[in-house]
């Protein structure tokens, strides 16, 4: 399971922005966000900018490695970063995040305790981030197409042999096969398949 963490680099800037102030000094503020592409609705930033008077610079990344490289290089300039839990602990240890000012996050008490406990495995005391999104990586397939290609049975879908044996996956090539290209997802699967 992948867990995305919303981290607040300059938490006060974001929280002040979220407080819905009356403009003024906030008009010149810019909130710099670094997140996966397509992780917010199209109207989120324009709505936030209109309601807060704060401009948002929204940069995207497409892998854990990409965000980590940028953060560990130092002085990223981001106020809000959305890494995965897999990399979060190492980034905290490297000192790339500032602690949250929990007094400015009243909704913190409403977060799922089980999710917060999971985050605490990488962020003891939940000092640096809050959950943003949780997801799993799964396999989707068309049962009828599997049956057509594997003698009337879709049982092959119960084994990683479908993906890792060339003679099997080649039977699916005309259907279109897509596999995540993230090491955090694929390496554990491959190691499990190899019995390592």
CB-CB contact of 180 with 137 (8 Å): yes
* Dist CA 74 CA 52 (whole Å): 29
* Dist CA 30 CA 188 (whole Å): 39
Gyration radius (Cα) of the chain, Å:
21
Please give the DSSP secondary-structure letter assigned to residue 108.
Answer: G
Mean pLDDT estimate for the chain? 84
Instruction: Using a pLDDT cut of 90, give the percent of the chain over it.
Output: 52
pLDDT at 41: 93
Please give the DSSP secondary-structure letter assigned to residue 84.
Answer: B
Where in the chain are the domains?
2-135, 143-193
Instruction: Using a pLDDT cut of 70, give the percent of the chain over it.
Output: 86
Structure-token pair, residue 30 = 């810019």
pLDDT at 2: 52
CA–chain centroid gap for 60, Å, is 11
Give me the residue label for tokens 């936030």: 48
Structure-token pair, residue 43 = 């109207």
The residue ranking higher by pLDDT, 139 or 113, is 113
| Cut 0.75: pTM above it | no
Closest Cα partner for 115 from 98, 130, 100, 99?
A: 130
pLDDT at 185: 81
**How does pLDDT run across 36-55, given as a tens digit for each residue?**
888 899 999 999 999 999 99
Q: How far is CA 70 from CA 60, 64, 74, in A?
A: 11, 10, 7
pLDDT at 6: 56
* Dist CA 85 CA 68 (whole Å): 12
**How does pLDDT run across 114-145, given as a tens digit for each residue?**
999 999 999 999 999 999 888 777 788 888 98
Q: Give the other-Cβ count within 10 Å of 31's Cβ.
A: 23
The residue ranking higher by pLDDT, 142 or 13, is 142
Q: Does residue 181 carry a pLDDT above 80?
A: no
pLDDT at 25: 39
Fold entry, domain 2-135: D-Maltodextrin-Binding Protein; domain 2 (3.40.190)
CB-CB contact of 149 with 24 (8 Å): no
Please give the DSSP secondary-structure letter assigned to residue 128.
Answer: S
């Amino acid at each position: 399971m992948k867990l995305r963490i919303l981290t607040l680099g300059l938490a006060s800037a974001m929280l002040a922005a979220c407080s819905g102030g009356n403009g003024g000094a906030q008009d010149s503020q810019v909130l710099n966000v670094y997140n996966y592409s397509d992780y917010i609705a199209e109207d989120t930033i324009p709505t936030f900018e209109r309601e807060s008077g704060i401009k948002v610079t929204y940069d995207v990344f497409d892998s854990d490695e990409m965000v980590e490289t940028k953060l560990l290089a130092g002085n990223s300039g981001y106020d809000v970063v959305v890494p995965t839990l897999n990399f979060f602990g190492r980034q905290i240890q490297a000192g790339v995040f500032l602690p949250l000012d929990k007094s400015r996050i009243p909704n913190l008490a409403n977060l799922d305790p089980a999710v917060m406990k999971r985050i605490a495995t990488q962020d003891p005391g939940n000092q640096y981030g809050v959950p943003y999104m949780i997801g799993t990586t799964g396999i989707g397939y068309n049962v009828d197409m599997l049956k057509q290609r594997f003698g009337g049975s879709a049982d092959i879908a119960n084994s990683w042999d479908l993906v890792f044996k060339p003679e099997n996956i080649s039977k699916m090539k005309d259907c279109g096969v897509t596999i995540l290209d993230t090491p955090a997802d694929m390496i554990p699967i491959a190691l499990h398949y190899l019995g390592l």
